[in-house]
Amino acid sequence: MGHAAEILGVTPAFLRSLDAAHLLAPGRSTGGHRRYSRYHLRLAARARELIDAGTALEAACRIIILEDQLAEARRINDTLRHPQSDTP
């Protein structure tokens, strides 16, 4: 957690607050330490941007979840509109 916090320029408490708000669900090492993926780090960085701009933590988490859902819907839509041809 300390390394992830250092990379993002935040405190470990900030990362714990995102975990408590259910925005992040990091894996755990065998020693019980939180393990953050690049995806988790991108979400945490976006949360920091929103919070630094004055958005409340819960609202920032909801915005990020909606942004993520919209991006996934767009990926699915693009795939359905432009399916890959099975022939070479």
Ordered alpha helix ranges (H), the chain: 2-8, 12-20, 38-52, 57-81
- Whether the per-residue pLDDT at 66 is higher than 90: the answer is yes
Domains (range + CATH), the chain: 2-81 (1.10.1660.10)
- Prediction pTM value: 0.80
The C-alpha atoms of residue 51 and residue 57 are separated, in whole angstroms, by 6
pLDDT tens by residue, 30-49: 998 889 999 999 999 999 99
